[in-house]
Structure 1
Amino acid sequence: MNDFHQLKGGDLFALTVFLSAATHRSFRAAAVELDVTPSAISHSIKKLEERIGVRLFNRTTRSVSLTDAGQRLATKLRPAIASVAEAMQEVEGFQGAPRGTVRINASDVAIRMILRPILAQFLRDHPQVHLDIVTDGRLGDIVAEGFDAGIRLAEAVPQDMIAVRLTETARFAAVASPTYFAARGWPQAPQDLYRHNCIRFRFESGAIYRWEFERHGVVETINVNGLLTLTDQILMVEAAIDGVGIAFVPDFLVSAPLREGSLERVLDDWCPAFPGVCLYYPGHRHVSAGLRALIDAIHKFEFER
């Protein structure tokens, strides 16, 4: 008996729509990703449910959630749709110029440090490539969420991924304005930070970052106190320049203020280098020509700089 379920016209698009809505748990977010209207998403899913005779989403006025059947379909679809996308990418690889969409998931810091310097030139060099870059501090699952690659600190890259080193090392810097230090004094050791107003960083998970220092094998982890907590490291730098307190951020974010004298650095010998930033992608997935061109552009920029 032939158990092959034949796809009819529009089914593949409808399944793509369903998977996007299932991933985002939002028809509106799926509409943004697929560049269609929310009503088109709703209509496509309704037609799919009628076609197969099963409700896939529970809908309320505020949210949508998967039914058990929807969850099972999404689980089965993800590798299948990924295989179709991979097959298309392999065929596209026979063309002379990279083309198509490259979806990247990265933290705000990684985007500013790695991607921003090369974006304009890369898009001029590869006009048929569309970069879809999502700022995300959650360290999400790039496979489940439909990304081609992610960019993270080397220590945060999942072990089952192929990692491409983009920077050899990275460092953090503890900085504040000269007026702040003149009024409050300069910390000489990490423990002195408990007597200072520190600008804290909150991850998207809600956790507060604990400042990590190391010197001569001695490790100090400080759960700092302060009057200001932010989720944006650029705002942390600006608050430090304004004299709010001490910020602890990647040092490349403060290179210009340090040169200009609007910030001063402390505890420098307590801020060692650690493994740098990597771009990573699933080992089983074909690397598209567009993603390969982006990796080459990043490496070329790092080499020339």
Structure 2
Amino acid sequence: MDASTAAGRIARRFAALKDEGRAGLVTFVTAGDPDHETCRALLQALPAAGADLIELGMPFSDPMADGPAIQASDLRALKAGARLTRTLELVRAFRDGDAETPLILMGYYNPIYSYGVDRFLADAGAAGVDGLIVVDLPPEEDAELCLPALKAGINFIRLATPTTDDARLPAVLRNTSGFVYYVAIAGITGTASAEDAVVGPAVARLKRHTDLPVAVGFGIKTPDQAAAIARVADAVVVGSAIVSRIQANLDAENRPQPGLVDDVQGFVRTLAEGVRRARG
């Protein structure tokens, strides 16, 4: 796959969503949670359930921006043998059956640094990764990964938060590509609920500074909440609620119970229906 294919998949998907007159659904799962094969089946099931884009978490032992659900999923994945090479294996397996759904790796810089930036970008691009969200690299560190990723044809997606003021926004947006990820609540993932009355003005403010689509995540747990955010944003990101659904289908030893994939797929389908009905 050439670099233009990776960079173009996200833009094509948002253009198609705009033509349909609706927001997109972005789903998050942690690579290798609860094990490699179950995660592979989950990834393959997400587009059919209505996921328009997929974020795949890169397991890390100290996920400081994430709440208890995703922290637990990282630990489950690491205990089951997850590592960055296996995350890229999951991407390659997904791409064997799906050439169009954008797939974004999300996580922290340490595993990428340990892997080697140049080697990682080459392997990620070859596997079919479309974008990166690396939550602990600020704009001041763009030379570390952001600029090399853009050069390699991989979108670099930046987070904006309720505390990102107008003075800070230009730096945040300067090298952002693909879309902007707006964090709807202050704090860690999965601990509070996003409110559309607050998110709407925040999205409007972002759009005064950028032409990029704005996806909103953190604190979106139900189809009704997804619908409310879908009325004011270009995409809705759901992570902790999906990861919690995975956890609810594990036994006491964190082994997947029969029906896990079907149950998660059914839950994602309800989220997708909420997003799709949001604008009538």
TM > 0.5 between the two? no
* Relative contact order higher in (CA < 8 Å, ≥ 6 apart): 2
Structure with higher strand content:
1
The TM-score normalised by the length of structure 1 is: 0.23
Structure with higher helix content:
2
The TM-score normalised by the length of structure 2 is: 0.24
